[in-house]
Amino acid sequence: MFENYVVDSGYDEMMRGADSPRDAYVRLHRTLADFSEPELHTRYRMAQSIFLRQGITFTVYHDERGTERPMPFDFIPKIIPAAEWEHIERGLVQRVKALNAFLEDVYNDQEILYEGVVPRDLIVTSEYFCPQVAHVAIPRRNHIFMSGIDLIRNETGEYHVLEDNLRNPSGMAYVYQNRYVMRKVFPEFFRDYSVRSLATYFTDLLSALQQLDPHERQNPTVVLLTPGMYNSAYFDHSFLAQQMGIELVEGRDLVVVDRVVYMKTSHGLQEVDVIYRRIDDAFLDPLEFRSDSLLGVPGLMDAYRAGNVAIANGLGNGVADDKAVYAYVPDMIRYYLGEQPILPNVPTYHLSNPEEREFVLSRLPELVVKQTDSSGGYNMLIGPQAQEMEIEHFRKRILGAPHKFVAQPTVQLSKVPTFVGGGMRGCHVDLRAFVIQGEHTTVFGGGLARVAMKDGSLIVNSSQGGGAKDTWVLVDG
């Protein structure tokens, strides 16, 4: 399969050269050699049909019929040797700890802001800043029950953090489904490997949620609050609820009476202790946030304030994962933990700073410019791939509202061979790693490797044609 494979610029995670796989991939490379192209095609179709049958699809927005497509998928896994993973794990735990301390600080005394380590204006004027939760004593001071940290590898293979997702990171269900499909359709691949199992993490997830119960009951009622089946991440929600054995509820299933949250059951009201919500802050409670929200629960915020219910993830986490705040995370690590960051950031320029702005504007064709309050790969300028017109358009937008933009050098993302168009081609990947914070902080042993399947594309988001790969963390070697 690798006869015509090209190892060009950038770091190839599998291949050192045209015919020499890296150590962790040697065995897989050998197995793959036994497969013919038609056989791979057949297997690929089998995998797709499993996704469709299980309803593992995402809804294509802006489509009246609500078309559902199966998640694009690729069967060459991203393999992470044990030692490499151990390093990533330490870095992630450190990062999430600091981010949690930051959120606790921002919504209480704001020391880091008054000391000027992080510019106070950047935080308190952020659209995600949530005054409603200031000084609320939140259970265990745990703001980030689950986070999704996006990692990339640069030209030399070194891991960097690209983005923190501290609000409602999705994708964990896909990790399980990718593994399930891989085991079923490509069992041969696993023959020579000992891959870390994903089976035990639901226990960690559930106990982390149960520990948040403000009443510290023996067996608290935990629910997952979803916007409903039309949400693009609904599969994720239902899968997690099912695997944890908790109730999957919608806003209309809940009611607040005397500052206590209840769910409406066929036999009356039942008190709810912990809510794992997958609804955005703005829609949680029409009384205190967007009054036009039909998804939320009126009075929920007040019940939370009264200490009668735990909400995970915490409200207002968006102030810590915005693209402009990202640049300060290494400073947070130093400030709160007194440690040096284990996983580096990608260098980031703030366009609100006049010197940095001037530098960036003079080098637009080389840089990536991102709007700080956008996600999903939208509102981005990728300098080296942009037309002159697009660059000029962005220049105007930057000058109009410089504080809304940051810029980064274009990182040549690492590649992993991917089966496209009947052959193997190196495609750019990133890795979303999940961190679960309970009494202990656990890094989910694997993650969602997202791959840009369009030729040469750097955008891995599923909303823009990205696909997924299974991620193998090796138990040994």
Partner 1 sequence: MLSRVADALYWMARNVERAENDARLIAVQLVRQLEHAEFRDDMGHSLWSPLIHINASESLFLSLYERMDDQSSLEFLTVADKNPNSILRCVSTARQNARTMLGMIPSELWELVNTYYYSVREYENETLRTETLHRLVDMVKSFSLQFWGIIDAAMSRGDAYQFVRMGTFLERAQKMARIVDVYSQGVEERQTHQQAFEYHHWSAVLQSVSAHESYVLKHGARILPERVGEYLLLDPLFPRSIRYCLEQMLDAFLTIEHGEVKSYARTLHVQLGKLCAKLQYAEIEEILQQDFHAFLANIQWECNQVGQHLATTYYLGAMDAE
Partner 2 sequence: MKYHILQVNQYQYAGGATESINQVRLRPYTGEGQACLDFTLDLQPQSKCAWHKDYFGNEVATFSIHAKHSQLTVTASADVDVWAEALPTETQLSDAMSGELTSTEFRRRYAEYLAATSYTALPPEAATAETDELWRASRDALDYVRRISDFLYTEFTYHAGVTTVETKAEEFLARKSGVCQDFTHLMLALCRVHQIPARYVSGYLYCGENTALRGDAAMHAWVEVMFPTLGWVGVDPTNHVFVGSRHIRVAVGRDYRDIVPIKGVYRGGAQTLETSVRVHALETAGLQ
In the complex, the residues that contact partner 1 under the rule CB under 8 A are 52-55, 228-229, 234-235, 238-239, 241-242, 247-250, 252-253, 263-267
Q: How far is the CB of 260 from partner 2 (least distance, A)?
A: 11
Q: Is 302 in the site for partner 2 (CB under 8 A)?
A: yes
Q: How far is the CB of 221 from partner 1 (least distance, A)?
A: 12
Q: How far is the CB of 87 from partner 1 (least distance, A)?
A: 36
Among partner 1, partner 2, none, the one that 218 touches (CB under a kind-dependent 5 to 8 A) is none
CB closer to partner 2, 27 vs 397: 397
Q: How far is the CB of 132 from partner 2 (least distance, A)?
A: 7
Q: Mention every residue, 6+ apart, whose C-beta is less than 8 A from residue 146.
A: 169, 172, 205, 312, 313, 434, 435, 436, 437
Instruction: Determine the Cα–Cα distance for residues 84 and 158; give it in Å rounded to an integer.
Output: 10
Residue 231 near residue 160, CB atoms below 8 Å: no
Structure-token pair, residue 365: 């064709």
55-94 mask for partner 2 (x: CB under 8 A)?
A: ----------------------------------------
Q: Which of 358, 417, 463, 352 is nearest to 126 (CA)?
A: 352
CB closer to partner 1, 238 vs 412: 238
Structure-token pair, residue 460: 């891995």
CB closer to partner 1, 245 vs 338: 245
Q: Is 131 in the site for partner 2 (CB under 8 A)?
A: yes
HSE-up of residue 272 (Cα within 13 Å, Cβ side) = 34
HSE-up of residue 396 (Cα within 13 Å, Cβ side) = 5
Instruction: Determine the Cα–Cα distance for residues 262 and 55; give it in Å rounded to an integer.
Output: 30
Residue 80 near residue 430, CB atoms below 8 Å: no
Instruction: Determine the Cα–Cα distance for residues 47 and 317; give it in Å rounded to an integer.
Output: 36
Structure-token pair, residue 89: 């794990």
Q: What is the DSSP string of 51-93?
A: HHHTT-EEE-TT-TT--EEEPPEEEEEEEE-HHHHHHHHHHHH
Between strands 222-225 and 247-249, the pairing is parallel
CB closer to partner 2, 126 vs 147: 126
Q: How far is the CB of 397 from partner 2 (least distance, A)?
A: 14
Among partner 1, partner 2, none, the one that 4 touches (CB under a kind-dependent 5 to 8 A) is none
The DSSP letter of residue 365 is G
CB closer to partner 1, 273 vs 322: 273
CB closer to partner 2, 318 vs 447: 318
Q: Which of residues 234-293 bind partner 2 (CB under 8 A)?
A: 255-259, 286-288, 291
298, 330, 365, 409: residue in contact with partner 2 (rule CB under 8 A) = 298
Q: How far is the CB of 262 from partner 2 (least distance, A)?
A: 11
CB closer to partner 1, 225 vs 406: 225
Residue 284 near residue 102, CB atoms below 8 Å: no
Structure-token pair, residue 185: 């359709």
Q: How far is the CB of 251 from partner 2 (least distance, A)?
A: 12
Instruction: Determine the Cα–Cα distance for residues 218 and 334; give it in Å rounded to an integer.
Output: 38
Binding site for partner 2 (CB under 8 A): 113-114, 116, 119-121, 124-125, 131-132, 134-135, 255-259, 286-288, 291, 298-299, 302, 305-306
